[in-house]
Structure 1
Amino acid sequence: MGVSGYYQTSESIGQFDSAVEDDLFGKGSTSSEALDSDGDGLADSLEETQYGTDPFDEDTDKDGMSDGWEVEHGLNPLDNGESEDLVTDPGQAETEDASEKNETESWPDPNQGPNGDPDGDGLTNQAEADLGTDPQRSDSDNDGLGDRWESLYTTTVQTPGGTVTLFDPLSGNWDCLLLDQAMEDALSERFDGENGNANWEDLANPAGTHSCDMVLDTDDDGLANFEEEQFGTNPTARDSDFDLIDDIVEVSNTSVSLFIGTGEDCNIPLLDPIVRAAPFMAMERTWFLQDMDNDGLNNGPSDWDTDGDGMPDGFEYCYSHQNEHPQHNDLETLDPANASDGYGDWDDCIDFRLNQFHLSLEN
């Protein structure tokens, strides 16, 4: 019958008013009325009388998306988003005035074309068509995670009960095999709704079930997957930005235990941990959702060089502890959230700190 569910209305979600509501066969229509010559999921009779699309061309506006898919998802199958290729309704008089009226009133609309993004999730309409996601909904499976973010990290996990695909934007993995009773108990204790923590009940859907994609900690770094999305980090890597500081350490607001050295022992593995203040301990949680150097990456765990001074956060963090350099005060040490510290002469060797970092790469 063509596109699955194409008789479902899309009037409430898109700018194009779809009238594909009735099952033709179920309404006593003849097979000739339900004929779909181009296989786009729209009956020829509807293409000719309702949508003004070409019944012998599955993609009337030549935007790479089939007419049926566009109608199903509230997009206009006559608008490819580009004025020079504007397609008009064959039922309308093709006059200059009609074309001007379309252009000035509603067509072309860039959001209707293949590069449009009406739901603002970072996926173009063409990408949504390829993935099978809904271009009018930023979270097609309602699991609390954006379609684009999930599509970047889709992965499979082997369990005794079978394979589980995580971060599929078409499946929320509600109460999947990985979310056993012991895991639920641990998560409900962690997400107690206190001290800024989410509430376990609030993370459930209306049926009371939880999405594995959302609530699990896939990389076991101390951050739940939904927290990783908030910070813009990789839920399958403990150190998303490869700056040699684990994500959980970067977002911590307390002192942390490190198994690598700092100062002159920077990044040397340690048998016994040392306790140091977290690199961004003084920052509010909202700071990690900002972008201080305007490079498109959130501050902290998703940005290799948060302050944009040319030195990675890990390098600056290694040389940020004043107690390891008593001859200098706090203002003379490095700070991964201070872009002005790249050109000081920290060790009095008449060599800028940024140059020292580059020299360290060569050694």
Structure 2
Amino acid sequence: MNKKKTFLLVIFLIMIPFISSNNTQITVTKSEITSNQVDNLASKLLLTPNVDPFFTLVFKTYDGSYYPDYANYLKQQLAVIGINIDISLHDWPEFLDLLFVSRDFDVTSIGFGGSKSDIDDLLQGAYTENGSLNLWGYDESMDWNTTLGTGLNEWYIQNGSSMIPPNSQERFDHYWNWQQYMMDELLLLTPLFNSKSFSVNWANLDGFNFSNGDVLHNWGHMSWDGTHTGQSSTSQIVISDNGWTELNPIFCSDAASQFVIDACLDKLIYWDTDCSFYSHLAESWNFINNTTLDITLREDIEWMDYGGFTNEYLDAKDLYFTLYCLRDLSIYQYDYEWIKDLEILDDMTLRVYIDKDDSTPENDPYSASLANLATNILPEHYLNQTQLGDGVTPNSTHTSWTDFSSNCWGTGLFEIDSFTEAVATNLTVRSDCWLLDPLVDKSNMDFVNRFGDFSGGLNHLRVRIMDNDSIIFTEFEAGKLDIIDNSDFDNRVQYGSDSNFEIQSKPDQFFNYYGFNVRETRGTPLQSTDPCPFLPSMTKGLAIRKAIAFITNRTELNNEANDDSFVVHDYPTFGTLGDWLDDDIIKYNYNLTKAKEYMMYAGYDCGLDSDGDGLTDYIELNTTNTDRFNADTDSDLMPDGWEVNNGLDPLVDDAGDDEDSDGLSNVGEYNNNTDPNDADTDNDTLLDGWEVTYGLDPLIDDASNDIDNDYLSNLEEYTEGTIPNDADTDKDLLFDGHEVNGIYSPSNPGADISGYVFTDPLLADTDSDGYIDSVELYSDSDPNDPNSYPLPEFITITPPPETITENKTVTTTVTSGILFSVSIATIGLVLSIAVIFSRKIRKK
């Protein structure tokens, strides 16, 4: 059984790109440091990341459809994190050889697809050590678990395939855990996109929900709201399909035939679009143990009268017959080899004995049994009229078999009314069908929600046989078709802008991905099982695969390469599996920071600086031992990167130190962008600390400037010890420059031979005689001789006449240059008089 299934899975993969290329249109195509302070480091850092390629990977893929676009896109993205990609494109046979024989690739892109199946089916083929689609080279040694005696991934899959009942919460949890494990701990692939199917219908059709299923599933919900252009009846739906070829389900292999079969024959169990199981012809089922299943049929379900058979009702013989034929006669025998034996317990109950692996002495459970039982049930009374010599095997050469292959019928909603080859199949609703009979118990079916109430007045389905897309579109636009499938992007754009039409979509049973070859024999870092230097719990190979996953901007790629035909996909299995998909699975949405982080874990510096301190995380972990999430590890208000690049210690608080003795502390240097190792950053002979103290610019040569206009340059101020932004440092009413360079006053006894008087710009009273220098100069006393000082003046002060009520004259002596006040009170009058002397500086 396993060998047959493996072979078919391989064949199935071979078909994928051709299917995709035919249906997809490709577009070629903690600190107190402010953020501004941190940003200012960018142009000054000495430690910068190496973004040259660290290594090269070989990307090989099929030279068709959208896969070359996927390859070129990944090459551009990976260059950002230092991975080079060499792309090699191949025709299909050569590509298959590369995947499964020579295995000569590191990265590829391809897809998985097919018909609806149990979650376990793809896992067995693609993710187990001996799976035929194990293109990544998974083997048990990658995740060997001593307790389990196998690889953890292998255990998940093999154990899950034997869990009973198949739809138990335990099994759901099991496969959710597997998905998380695969995507987080192994990451053999980066899922890209799940394809979508599209349908277009006339907008006056109510109740059609494409995501819930096809026309058959929606029949009881639908009705017409008036008529559209070209419509001839409101009791009919007209669709198109290819011509059918075989209407016996055990021999049917094409979708067009299966559609007609599903219209006329009911399924035992309904496997809904969300992959939930519902009872249908089977009212209930019960696992007696892991390998014994009892199925009880729904009562009062009548077969359609046909071939002289009337009043025939569904019973256990029909179920026995169907399963027997599927196992022993059908083209799907390999899907039913797990049926070891069948036993009719009563008219409505069949017991199924299960053995998944007949090579072991004991019966083995098979979790996909329910999924395989979602099959059409055959009328035993009609097809088992004669048997072969063993008295058991039905005679498939009987005329009933030939007739049934071209005119199937059963318990279903429809019967074939007429068929014209290459023209149409006309199906009519059976008014006596059990689905329309309110007396038939429909327990456990959630009937109305799932199938509707059939009140829409529809009774006829016409399936026109058409395989030319251009003709189909023309007929649809003319109103001769009501619903069509539409994979053409341009047509969808056209129909989407027309209010007469409604476009719907749903996920397909197909997803594509970037796949990784993890076989160590490849010898690249992608396959490395060595522990990460900075995350020993993870291998280097896994970290690199995570980096690739995070660098892939799937939304952007989808927009550029896929039009709207795909949806971003996060799972290692089909997007149609409904509740089997773990909503909480790790999702590799585009995140450049995460990509750089995982490359850093693996030992590659891609420039990631998590705390923005100017040191890459790689350097902080590998060299400086600083905290990569704290821009100021030692909390000294200086970023680690600035300290390292300026020779300071980022692990010790050295903010108050002054490395270059320029009067400016290290933190002061940081705040002023000066060099803590150069006392004069701008080389203007002015110390950085002095410039900062007095508001000068320590980064620009401003030595010759005179910002206070006191006739001294900044450099002269620095040399003389005066204040460069105060024109009169000693507050003696003389400019600093005049005191230093001399005041021309030839009549002053202190003047030199040239007539200039010089005073100390740092002392208001140079000779300490009690008179400030300016007063002495104005009074012609020597400001450098304490024995020379101004003589007092006698001043008579007479108040204004209008303020005097008593005549008094006051005479006082005013010592010029000393602050005084005179107060006279006469009839409540207070006079305050200040005498201000002013004298201009004489010049030659």
TM-score (norm 2): 0.22
Flag the structure with higher strand content.
2
Structure with greater Cα Rg: 2
TM-score (norm 1): 0.47
Greater relative contact order structure (CA < 8 Å, 6+ sep): 2
